[in-house]
Chain A
C-alpha cells in the first residue's frame, strides 16, 4: 500500500527565508505527486503537480518541487517566504491518473516577521 510522510508537523521560518517542506512516499510504481495548500476553514488548493516529464515542477505563488525517484521524495521549496504563505501544506500521491489518492498528514507553516 502506498503511504506519504511529511517530516515536521509544524515548520517556522522567518519572512524572506527559504521554505523547505519535506515529502516522502512509498510506492512500488512511479506515482503522480501533488502539493496542496489549505488556509484556515477553507478547502485545499493545488499548488503544483508532477505527472510525467520534467522532474522540477513550478507551481503557483513561487513554489516549486522536485521529484527524486531514487529518494522517493517530492520536497516543496520557495526561495523567500512571505507572510501570506502561512498555511497548512499537504503532499499527496496517486498511483493511477486521477484515482486512489493518499494524503500526507500535513505540515503547518508559520512565517515570522
Chain B
C-alpha cells in the first residue's frame, strides 16, 4: 500500500548528539514536509521541499537540517544546536500529478533527549 514511513518510532539520545529521522514515501508526491508537535502547541513547520534538491525553511528551522536527494526521501537531522529537541516529529507529503489537495502524514517519531 502507498504511504509514508517514518523511522524510528521512538528514539532516545544524549544531549549534544545529532540525530537523523527518516521519512520515505511511495505516493509519488512532489512536496514533503517536517512538522514538530509539542503538547498544546499544535504543529509547527520545520522545513519543506517541493522538488528534489530544493528545500525551504519553515517557522522553526533553527537547529535542524534536511536533504532531498531523492523524490521519495526527506530525512531530518536534529542537530546539537537545537536547544529543546524533545518532541514528536511528523513527516507529511502532498502535491503532484495525482494530488487530492490534502497532506498525508506518517506515523511520527518521538525523540527524547536525556
Contact A105 B42 (CB under 8 A): yes
A80 contacts the other chain (Cβ, under 8 Å)? no
**Interface range on chain A: under 10, 10 to 19, 20 to 34, or 35 or more?**
20 to 34
The answer, yes or no, to whether B41 is at the interface (CB within 8 Å) is: yes
B101 touches A97 (CB 8 A): yes
Q: Does B75 contact A (CB under 8 A)?
A: no
With most chain B CB atoms within 10 A of its CB, the pick from A32, A43, A94, A106 is A43
> Cβ of B43 < 8 Å from any Cβ of A?
yes
Given A43-B107, A98-B95: A90 in contact with B101 (beta carbons within 8 A): no
A106 to B88, CA, bound (A): 15
Do A105 and B41 touch (CB < 8 A)? yes
Q: How many of B's residues come within 8 Å of A, CB to CB?
A: 24
**Least distance between B61 CB and chain A CB atoms (Å):** 16
Given A41-B110, A42-B107, A98-B94; A32-B41 close (CB under 8 Å): no
Taking CB atoms, residues of chain B closer than 8 Å to A101 are 33, 103
Q: Mark B23-61, 1 if CB is under 8 A from A, else 0.
A: 000000001010000001111000000100000000000
> Which residues of chain B come closer than 8 Å to A44, judged between CB atoms?
43, 90, 92, 103, 105
B105 adjacent to A98 (CB under 8 Å): no
Docked-complex contact B31 and A90, CB < 8 angstroms: no
Residues A94 and B40 in contact in the complex (CB < 8 Å), given A41-B110, A44-B90, A99-B31 = no
Inter-chain contacts of A98 with B (CB < 8 A): 31, 94-95, 99, 101-102
B50 smallest CB distance to A (angstroms)? 8
Say yes or no: is B63 at the interface (Cβ < 8 Å to chain A): no
Binary contact track A96-113/B, C-beta < 8 Å → 1, others 0 = 011101011110000000
* Complex-state Cα separation, A55 to B66, whole angstroms: 38
Q: Is residue A45 within 8 Å, beta carbon to beta carbon, of the partner chain?
A: yes
Q: Does A49 contact B (CB under 8 A)?
A: yes
Residues of A within 8 A of B (CB): 9, 32, 34, 36, 41-46, 49, 51, 90, 92, 94, 97-99, 101, 103-106
